[in-house]
Amino acid sequence: MKEKKDPGFIVIGVSIFLGLVALGYFLSSAAISVKEYERSVTVKGLAEQEHVADIVIWPIQFTEAGNTLDGTYTALDNSAELVRSFLEEREIQLDEITFSTPFLTDKSAQRYSGMENFDFRFVATQTATVYSENVQQIRQIMSELVDLGKQGVTLSGDEYQVRPEYLFTRLNEIKPEMIEQATNEARKAAQKFAEDSNSRLGKIKTASQGQFSISDRDNNNPHIKNVRVVSTIVYYLSD
């Protein structure tokens, strides 16, 4: 004899089944919506500007040689005074000029140097360094350095040792403008991508500011600086 099924259990079973079907539908719909909402494009925006350096560091290295210690130091002191006068005559302030400690080499004390037949036993070197915010003025004075040679000052040092260094220290002043420029360039690229893909550009999902870099514009104009930043921005896309 077959048992009769309780209509209440049947109703409950059907309800649970329909509920699971509905839940599955809503979860599927939500997943599709989230997937559509997560459509995005990553773009980069570049901003570049050129600025003249605002600080110059200029080393002037000079050398004297002799066969007596006192005589070599005296000659070096005379050269240092000529360098100081040369700079002061061109209106460089004393607080912008520093002199390094003299460096002296005794060739007779250099064993295994292979320089036994030298003309001068002692060689002394010193460096005067100009640190100034008057970049254009100093650059003009650099072209007059030959006058020191005419006065008997022996200038020395290779290109790397005596190369002027130019600094740009006003980065914080131009940062907001450059970040805005980079952001605008990135948005233009994203907008073009959205148009080409028949999409609409949405809000920013994430954004990251790249490192600012400061480099010489070229080898012949190290006082002109190229300031550069690249921003990376991710935009949402929608149909």
Give the whole-number percent of the chain exceeding pLDDT 70.
80
* Cα(51)–Cα(154) distance, integer angstroms: 35
Residue type, 186: A
What pLDDT was estimated at residue 120? 87
Residue 211 belongs to a domain with what CATH number? Answer: 3.30.110.170
What pLDDT was estimated at residue 113? 53
Residue 76 belongs to a domain with what CATH number? Answer: 3.30.70.2970
What pLDDT was estimated at residue 112? 58
For residue 63, list its beta bridge partners. Answer: 125
* Cα(76)–Cα(100) distance, integer angstroms: 12
Cβ atoms of residues 192 and 239 within 8 Å: no
What pLDDT was estimated at residue 23? 44
What pLDDT was estimated at residue 238? 87
What pLDDT was estimated at residue 94? 93
Instruction: Name the domain boundary from 145, 167, 189.
Output: 167
Segment 75-124, tens digit of pLDDT? 999 999 999 999 999 999 999 999 999 999 998 876 555 556 678 899 99
* Cα(118)–Cα(121) distance, integer angstroms: 7
Average pLDDT (39-66) is: 95
* Cα(28)–Cα(179) distance, integer angstroms: 41
Give the residue numbers spanning the domain of 215: 38-54+168-239
The answer to pTM > 0.85 is no
- Average pLDDT of the chain to the nearest whole number: 85
Within a 10 A sphere around the Cβ of 148, how many other Cβ atoms?
19
Q: Is residue 9 part of a domain?
A: no
Count of domains for the chain: 2
